[in-house]
Chains A and B, each alone.
Chain A
Amino acid sequence: MTYAYLFKYIIIGDTGVGKSCLLLQFTDKRFQPVHDLTIGVEFGARMVNIDGKQIKLQIWDTAGQESFRSITRSYYRGAAGALLVYDITRRETFNHLTSWLEDARQHSSSNMVIMLIGNKSDLESRRDVRREEGEAFAREHGLIFMETSAKTACNVEEAFINTAKEIYRKIQQGLFDVHNEANGIKIGPQQSISTPVGPSACPRSPRDTGSDSGCC
């Protein structure tokens, strides 16, 4: 299937926060309660439509466990988007965000769009990190923020798609050089290089950035 652009995403964050479950929910629309520890990188892909353009999301789901981290961080390079995930029921996964963020910024393009995700929002009774804390962290570090549930699929589509919208908006604004492979964007086959560029091509809705007030 042809596409206008391919965006490379990485999913990062502590082990057990639900990275692979988010990917599975997004690509296969299903939830698997028991998931084997990810070793290395597992891949997923899905087409989305942004502003009338077909965009292929190529998603690199990385291992979160510390012992694999030195290897997987080498694959952050060339990502256009990152989903930085923590578990709202485990405070330590939130506390480690700074370290993940440093890693991501050190090993990838400065233009990379980062979506902070507080996952497992269905487990409200076990919440250990307040939503406002996630929002504050995102605001402080210039990230987009959403709470999601890979189990109920709440906000999962939005997390992936809003990240794509933000990348697309940056392309339209000329902030991303689509010809530079290091930016994690590829022009699709049979696409004209002279894709229209202009701020008005991708109108933003309030949901595109900032905190989301969806189903969670």
Chain B
Amino acid sequence: MVPALFFPWCSSLRAHQRAGRCGDGRHGPKSALRAVREMGSSGLAACALEGPGWLQRHLLSGEFDQLRNFTVFESNFVQVTRFGEVANKVTMGVAASSPALELPDLLLLAGPTKENGCLQLLGLFPLQFVQLYIHDESRQQLKVKFCTGRAFYLQLQGPAETRDLEFGKWVRLLYHLHFQAGQGAVPFTQEWGDEDEETGGDQEDREWDWRDQLQDREARLDPQTSELWGL
């Protein structure tokens, strides 16, 4: 899936680039910024030409009156564990609840139904209660973290020839959202806590403890035992 439409939030991004504001954390902000720069204006033009994605089409189908007029920037992902195990298909998009907004304020998640695989909208979340991070740039993985602590990881899907471009758009969006939230000076890649760094000692035991703890936070992958929307 190629993202639908993204240019409404692109122009002010360039202003931020000119301002030279970005994080300099250990895990990728520099390369993320590079990606933003490499996108250049050609990427902006390209995204304006693409048609509506599946999520946008789903909203346009007429069952969601209130959401019908949203312009959605969306991509298809698979949910992965932090260790790379693949589970559910997820379509994630962002949208602005009002055309007057400069930036999106809503996160939309959708997935295939168990019955027939058709896309169904699973949740709508104000972005003020969600943080998006780049989890692994090389694998094109994002981390979605809710203010409740629940977090999950999504790996971008799509044709190899367009995936880099598409992920670059997400990088730009994340940069933009973090900048808007006043977090321009902090990394917007994965928040690496102490638990992520094993420096010796009884590493294996600690890793399992860490995995156990992670299970509390990370959504289960078996749809039969998972949350309502399988994440």
Contact = CB atoms under 8 A, between A and B. Distances in A.
A28 to B, nearest CB: 8
A42 B123 contact: yes
Interface size class of B (residues with CB under 8 A): 20 to 34
B228 A44 contact: yes
A71 B97 CA distance: 11
Given A23-B228, A32-B227, A40 B63 contact: no
A43 B124 CA distance: 8
Interface of B is mostly: mixed
A206 B65 CA distance: 34
Task: Label chain A's interface by main secondary structure.
Answer: mixed
A77 B66 contact: yes
B228 A71 contact: no
Contacts of A37: 148
B58 to A, nearest CB: 11
Q: How large is the interface on A (under 10, 10 to 19, 20 to 34, 35 or more residues)?
A: 20 to 34
Nearest to A24: B228
A40 B123 contact: yes
A68 B147 CA distance: 11
Given A36-B148, A39-B148, A71 B126 contact: yes
Interface in B46-101: 62-66
A181 B63 CA distance: 10
Nearest to A20: B228
B43 to A, nearest CB: 30
A35 B227 contact: yes
Contacts of A1: 116
Given A78-B66, A181-B65, A39 B147 contact: yes
Given A43-B121, A43-B123, A36 B65 contact: no
Interface of B: 62-66, 106, 116, 120-126, 129-130, 146-148, 150, 224, 227-229
5 contacts: A32-B227, A36-B150, A39-B125, A40-B123, A45-B120
